[in-house]
């Protein structure tokens, strides 16, 4: 009877060590490179990862009631990726009539998915567009 108890304890200790190794710093994962994909609106999304930050973002969002496409671009702004592989990108136009929030999560070194929410609030158009997106790394990094 004594041996099964020792074996169970060893299994738990090894299982814990494996879990700790598997969840060690995700920041060390190299995700650098260009990413391209599509949204649930069948629009393209692209961005570049460089040194744990996202740059050069381009995401068009269609507001059907307004018959208007909002193009969210990052310019020179960079957005950090958290250690767990998640990120949030917020865009505002100059007069704050349109805001776009993009959330994402890396599911591997090559793939990322997320959601977007675009709110348009002008006298001529009030609308909230929501959707999902998926992208993958292209080329070699």
All structural domains of the chain: 28-137 (2.40.128)
Q: Measured between alpha carbons, how far is 59 from 78 in angstroms, rounded to an integer?
A: 15
So what's the pLDDT on residue 94? 77
- Band (pLDDT 50/70/90 cuts) for residue 140 is low
pLDDT in tens, 37-82: 999 999 999 999 999 999 999 999 999 998 999 999 988 889 999 9
Q: Which helix (H) or strand (E) holds 6?
A: helix 2-22
Which pLDDT does position 75 carry in this prediction? 83
**Residue 93 or residue 39, greater confidence:** 39
State the Cα–Cα distance between residues 134 and 111, nearest whole angstrom: 8
- In the predicted model, is pLDDT for residue 23 greater than 50? no
pLDDT higher than threshold 60 for residue 21: no
H helix and E strand count, the chain = 1, 9
Which residues, listed in sequence order, are joined to residue 104 by a DSSP beta bridge? 87, 114
The span from the CA of 78 to the CA of 127, in Å, is: 27
């Amino acid at each position: 009877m004594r041996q099964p108890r020792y074996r169970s304890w060893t299994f738990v200790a090894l299982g814990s060590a494996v879990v700790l190794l598997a969840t060690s710093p995700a920041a060390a994962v190299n995700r650098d490179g260009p990413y391209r994909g599509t949204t649930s609106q069948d629009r393209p999304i692209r961005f570049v990862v460089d040194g744990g930050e996202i740059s050069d973002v381009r995401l068009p969002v269609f507001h059907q009631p307004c018959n208007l496409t909002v193009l969210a671009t990052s310019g020179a702004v960079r957005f950090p990726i958290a250690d767990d592989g998640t990120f949030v990108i917020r865009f505002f136009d100059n007069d704050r009539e349109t805001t776009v929030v993009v959330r994402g999560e890396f599911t591997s070194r090559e793939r990322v998915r997320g959601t977007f929410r675009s709110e348009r609030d002008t006298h001529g158009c009030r609308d909230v567009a929501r959707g999902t997106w998926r992208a993958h790394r292209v080329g070699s990094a």
